[in-house]
Amino acid sequence: MDIPYFFIAAFLILLLYVLYLNIIATLVLHHCKIFSYGNKVLQFLFVWLLPVIGAVFALRMLADVDDKALPKKWIPWPFRKAVFSAPRGDYKYRQGRNVPWFFSRR
C-alpha cells in the first residue's frame, strides 16, 4: 500500500508547525518571571499534552499578562488572532488590581 508523497509532506509540515508552536510556548514560559515554578510546570504539561490548544492557550495567557514577553513575529499567522486579539470583556478589576479575563469569574 503506497502512501502518496503529498500526504507525507503535508503531515511533516503540520508536525513541524505544531512542534514550532510548542517550542515557542515552552521557551516563553521558561523565560517568564511572572509565574511560580509550580504554575510553569503545569503549563508545560498542558502545552505538551494538548499540542495546539495548550500552546495557544499558554501563549494567549502570557500575551495578556506580559505583552513584552512574546514578540508578534514569532507566532505563525493562523494563530496570531487567537493569541493577540483583545480579551473578551477586557480586564476586570478585583480588589484594585487588574485581573485578566481568564482569571475573572463571570
Mean pLDDT of the chain: 76
- Closest C-alpha to 87, from 75, 66, 101: 101
Our count of domains for the chain comes to 1
Task: Give dist(CA 43, CA 36) in Å, integer.
Answer: 11
Of the pLDDT bands very low, low, confident and very high (cuts 50, 70, 90), residue 94 is very low
Q: What is the pLDDT of residue 20?
A: 86
Would you say residue 95 has pLDDT above 50? no
> Does a structural domain hold residue 104?
no
Using an 8 Å Cβ cutoff, are 80 and 103 in contact? Answer: no
Q: What is the pLDDT of residue 104?
A: 52
Whole-model pTM: value is 0.65
- Closest C-alpha to 62, from 44, 83, 81: 83
> Does a structural domain hold residue 71?
yes
> Does a structural domain hold residue 106?
no
> Does a structural domain hold residue 85?
yes
Task: Give the model confidence (pLDDT) of 13-48 as tens digits.
Answer: 999 988 988 998 898 888 888 888 888 899 999 999
Q: What is the pLDDT of residue 11?
A: 93
Q: Give the bridge partners for 99, in sequence order.
A: 92
